[in-house]
A and B are shown apart, each in its own frame.
Chain A
Amino acid sequence: MALTLASRRTTRKLAADVGLLVVAVAFALPLAWVVLSSLDPHADLRVKAPDGLTLDNFDAIMNSDVTFTPLLNSLILCGGATLLTVVCAALAAYPLSRFRSRLNRPFLLTILFATSLPITAIMVPVYALFVQVDLIDTVQGTILFFAASQLPFAIWLMKNFMDGVPKELEEAAWTDGASSLQSLVRVVLPLMGPGVAVVTVFSFVMMWGNFFVPFMLLLTPDQMPASVSINEFFGNRGTVVYGQLAAFSVIYSTPVILLYVLVARRLGGGFALGGAVKG
């Protein structure tokens, strides 16, 4: 009995491996295309071994018009909005985590409700509103909206991380006469470093990949982040140089993949933001 069970398990393990590998190959094909094409002097739309490896595609796009300005714009937009999000979320999470109030529960439920609202749906009214208040086509307006759209989730996450920091550690600071703000900045936040890192990285990653918000709220081509400017590869009506498009995609995607790896490593695969972030 034990023997058959064991051999059945081996078979099952093999079957599971084969099944997973099939899916992995299917998922890897589009990824293989972008990597191979970026190095291929004659890239087209299908996965194939490159006709010799070259960095020409990268060379061709390494200029301020195509790559540097959009990436810098992305960095300013997402960096600014992430900073604003993290600061506001940390401040808001503190009283929610530390003090009991009748308003905590309704506030948190509203926040949780807001995390899952389809932001796409409000972009048309946001556009109309931004036209009215002259925030349309401004970087600061887009930053403010980005931060607001990310805040519910950031507050939620930050509050849950903060709950994990024992209160006893603050008490010493309180008896020394530290204010709430001082104990937040000096005691609580340093103790929840990984938590703050997660909120920061995920806010940033989400904004970095967001297309619709800057697409709607920014108009001047010079201000566009990489998520919008990448469409230019198709825009100029000529033949699309797929190798360059692929090279740009690689450069634009690398930071978020690295950031994800950084956080996933730091917290161990188990946390996985498993339930924390949806595609």
Chain B
Amino acid sequence: MTTAPHADPGVVKTAPGPAPHAPALRPGHHPVLRALARALPVSPALVLLLLFLAGPIAYCAYIAFTDLQLTGQAHSSFVGLDNFRTAFKDEKFLNAVWLTLVFTVLSSLVGQNTLGLALASLMQRASKPVRTLTGAVVITAWVLPEVVAGFLLYAFFRREGTLNAILDWLHLPAQNWLFTLPILAVSFANVWRGTAFSMLVYSAALNEIPKEITEAAEVDGAGGWRRMWHITLPMIRRSIGTNLMLNTLQTLSVFGLIWVMTRGGPGDRSQTLPLFMYEQAFQNSMIGYGTAVALLLLLVGSLFSLVYLRLLRTEV
């Protein structure tokens, strides 16, 4: 699980009002000194963030332009945009970009988002025991460690696994899902693991809609789909926006789940960008090249992150 801030509206709270009686800080009455003394508690966090988060990002931006390798190289040299040129000519890279796109669209945009919304709106009407049970099962899938989720779905999709057992039982043709449609299998795995988040976000959003509005529409004879389309969706559009951003960001950085299920294979048929990056950096010892790919991923991530910030800010 990775983290993301609260997706409720109005979470960006700017500085609260000034303290009515700020504590008397002994060291200095000079305003600058006082400000420094007050900011002092931020420093441990700031040091950690600078050294271990900002540092690596800056380092990433640097070695993406070098030919740094894992072994047998005295020093690396600056190669300009070579890594990026190589990447865009590299069929394996383009394949990884394509698969990342498929993985993101299938599992995040279509899967988690739609299923999450469907679950949340069904939960509005369902009876309490069913609602509680479904919520518990879906959330358990989400809370499980990533690797465990990977194993569970590996077992589910394997030739000898549960899915084929069910298909047999229904007299439908079984197949080796992890071999024939690996990207589909890992996408489903990501839906299984990530839907709870969307479900929780949308449940919260739907609870905010005043009952009178939907009831009025119902009395006016608007059917379920029309109410959904004309009333519910427009009213929760902000939640949809933030949820899509956060789902996409999470999906872009999935590594463990795919690693456990397919190792990116067979061949490179489920090798999304994080797995490609890992392979280039460690199996092929091309740290520079791997980092260039990482930088691209980071840029795409930052873009989504900025859109997400923008969405939150419009709510303030």
Measuring CB to CB, which residues of chain A are less than 8 angstroms from any residue of chain B?
5, 9, 12-13, 16-17, 19-21, 23-24, 27-31, 33-34, 37, 44-48, 84, 87-89, 91-92, 94-101, 103-105, 107-109, 112-129, 144-145, 147-153, 155-157, 160, 163, 167, 170-171, 174-175, 177-181, 183-184, 202, 205-206, 208-212, 215, 226-228, 230-231, 242, 245, 249, 252-253, 256-257, 260, 269-270, 272-279
Contact = CB atoms under 8 A, between A and B. Distances in A.
Given A21-B134, A125-B63, A278-B4, A91 B42 contact: yes
Contact of A180 (B16, B41, B145, B290): B41
Given A163-B13, A175-B21, A20 B6 contact: no
A216 B42 CA distance: 29
Given A23-B119, A128-B291, 14 more contacts: A16-B124, A30-B153, A87-B44, A122-B56, A122-B294, A124-B294, A125-B57, A127-B287, A151-B45, A270-B204, A274-B7, A274-B8, A277-B4, A278-B197
A38 to B, nearest CB: 12
30 contacts: A13-B125, A23-B115, A34-B151, A34-B155, A94-B41, A95-B40, A97-B16, A98-B16, A99-B19, A105-B14, A112-B12, A113-B306, A116-B249, A116-B304, A118-B298, A121-B277, A122-B60, A128-B291, A152-B3, A157-B5, A170-B23, A179-B23, A179-B25, A180-B23, A211-B145, A211-B255, A212-B255, A260-B139, A277-B4, A279-B195
B152 A34 contact: yes
Contacts, number: 376
B14 A108 contact: yes
Interface in B280-301: 281, 287, 290-291, 294-295, 297-298, 301
Contacts of B14: 104-105, 108
B55 A129 contact: yes
B198 to A, nearest CB: 9
A278 B137 CA distance: 16
A215 B119 CA distance: 35
Interface string B117-154: 01100111111001101110111111111111001110
Contacts of B196: 279
A30 B152 contact: yes
B200 A273 contact: yes
B312 interface: yes
Contacts of B63: 125, 128
B3 A112 contact: no
B291 A19 contact: no
B197 A20 contact: no
Interface string B49-76: 1011101110110010000100000000
Interface stretch (B78-86, B88-96, B158-166, B179-187): B158-166
A272 B136 CA distance: 12
A5 B218 contact: yes
Interface of B: 1-8, 11-25, 35, 38-42, 44-46, 48-49, 51-53, 55-57, 59-60, 63, 68, 112, 115, 118-119, 122-127, 130-131, 133-135, 137-148, 151-153, 155-156, 158, 160-162, 164-165, 192-197, 200-201, 203-204, 207, 218-219, 224, 242, 245-247, 249-250, 252-256, 259-260, 274, 277-278, 281, 287, 290-291, 294-295, 297-298, 301-302, 304-306, 308-309, 312
Contacts of B112: 279
